[in-house]
Amino acid sequence: MNSIKLSVVIPFYNEEDNLAKLHQQVVNVLRIMGDKSEIIYVDDGSKDQSLKNLKIAVKKNKFKEIESYLIKLERNLGQTAATAAGIDYARGKVLAFMDADLQNDPKDFPKLLNKLQEGHDAVVGWRKNRTDNLFRKFFSSMANLMIRRGFGVPLHDMGCSIKVVRRKALTNFKLYSEYHRLIPALIYWNGAKVTEIVVNHHPRLFGKSNYGYFRVFKVIIDLITIKFLSSYHTKPSYVFGTLGILAEFAAGLVLIAVAYRKFFQGVFVHRDPLFLIAIFLIIVGLQFILMGVLAELIVRIYFEGLNKPIYAKPTIRSL
């Protein structure tokens, strides 16, 4: 029987100067915790000496209660793919995630796990004293504010890599695009209990960050997609139809204004830009409505053609 309690998933890409120390740090914490655990390293197509250095570090630090595994992706597929591979192969009841660049502190794992025991499905780190540059911190806090207010995800630092999640909370969705940053939102929107605690954050000493400032826009775009799919994936025509009806309604109002200007002010339609705006709105509205119909057709092909239920797979027990 599988007795592994905790799987630590660590994706890395070109982290040759960080992995030896990282492995040492993680192993030290896991040994203190004492449970049977595994570390799953995912090499996301590193081109430097990462793999060699990791192998040496693992050889030096072997303990029977801690198993170390390596998943090697054939090329650099990105942190999301690497994280997904780690999730697929991890066997623990609880999965822990962190970066390989020594910015996260594995000493936070016991605290995160204690919080999880209080009855949560996921506990996400909050880098309250984040040690990235000011610009990045500003962008990130703005995005997080938007995510809290606009999308209702109750977290201050959704992009924080260090987190612990119960396996059962990771089953109802797939990771696409750059969703590794959105795992907490995906879990939360699936109905799981998600909370956060403050964690340590260290500056990156070796290697360089793989992302620029534009990641913030990607997060927002991805969130809109997920929210749309999670709330309207069985009824897309409500969204498109509503937009279509609103456009047609606006066109009606503009046409009334056009008629008023024609009959009471003597402005002929060929001289009235409002008339063009009305035509534009009529066409756009029709497009929206037709797009909704097409989206409904696609949804039916998706659910009926692939025989998918329209609800996420629930558990069933006798009462």
Q: Helix 273-300 vs helix 236-265: angle between axes, to the nearest 10 degrees?
A: 160
Q: Which does 126 bind (CB under 5 to 8 A by kind): ligand UDP, Mg ion, none?
A: none
Does 141 sit near ligand UDP (CB under 6 A)? Answer: no
Q: Which does 12 bind (CB under 5 to 8 A by kind): Mg ion, ligand UDP, none?
A: ligand UDP
99 versus 222: smaller Cβ distance to Mg ion: 99
Applying the rule CB under 6 A, the residues between 33 and 52 that interact with ligand UDP are 44
Upper half-sphere CA count for residue 103 (Cβ side, 13 Å)? 24
Sign of the torsion formed by the C-alpha atoms of 71, 57, 163 and 34:
positive
Q: Which does 211 bind (CB under 5 to 8 A by kind): Mg ion, ligand UDP, none?
A: ligand UDP
Does 16 sit near ligand UDP (CB under 6 A)? Answer: no
The CA angle 81-68-90, to the nearest 5 degrees, is 45
To the nearest whole angstrom, how small is the minimum distance from the Cβ of residue 182 to ligand UDP? 14
Q: Which does 76 bind (CB under 5 to 8 A by kind): ligand UDP, Mg ion, none?
A: ligand UDP
Applying the rule CB under 6 A, the residues between 158 and 217 that interact with ligand UDP are 209-211
37 versus 103: smaller Cβ distance to Mg ion: 103
φ and ψ at 154, to 5 degrees?
Answer: -80, 55
Query: Distance between CA atoms of 15 and 23, rounded to whole angstroms?
Result: 12
Query: Distance between CA atoms of 37 and 60, rounded to whole angstroms?
Result: 18
Applying the rule CB under 5 A, the residues between 85 and 114 that interact with Mg ion are 99, 101, 103
- Among 99, 108, 157, 196, which residue interacts with ligand UDP (rule: CB under 6 A)? 99
Question: Which residue bears the tokens 């605690």?
Answer: 197
3-state class of 99 per DSSP?
A: coil
166 versus 215: smaller Cβ distance to Mg ion: 215
Query: Distance between CA atoms of 172 and 311, rounded to whole angstroms?
Result: 10
- Among 82, 153, 164, 255, which residue interacts with ligand UDP (rule: CB under 6 A)? 82
- Among 8, 9, 12, 184, which residue interacts with ligand UDP (rule: CB under 6 A)? 12
Query: Distance between CA atoms of 232 and 133, rounded to whole angstroms?
Result: 38
211 versus 280: smaller Cβ distance to Mg ion: 211
Q: Which does 11 bind (CB under 5 to 8 A by kind): ligand UDP, Mg ion, none?
A: ligand UDP
Does 11 sit near ligand UDP (CB under 6 A)? Answer: yes
- Among 7, 8, 15, 236, which residue interacts with ligand UDP (rule: CB under 6 A)? 15
CB atoms within 10 A of CB 271: 10
Exposure letters 284-297 (e unless 16+ CB within 10 A, then b): bbeebbebbeebbe
Which residue stretch of 6-14, 23-31, 227-235, 266-274 sits at the interface with ligand UDP (rule: CB under 6 A)? 6-14
Sheet holding 37-43, edge to edge: 66-72, 37-43, 6-12, 94-97, 163-166, 122-126, 194-198
DSSP secondary structure letters along 11-37:
EESS-TTTHHHHHHHHHHHHHHH-S-E
- Among 76, 225, 230, 287, which residue interacts with ligand UDP (rule: CB under 6 A)? 76
Binding interface with ligand UDP (CB under 6 A): 11-13, 15, 44, 76, 78-79, 82, 99-101, 103, 209-211
| Residues that bind Mg ion in the complex, under the rule CB under 5 A | 99, 101, 103
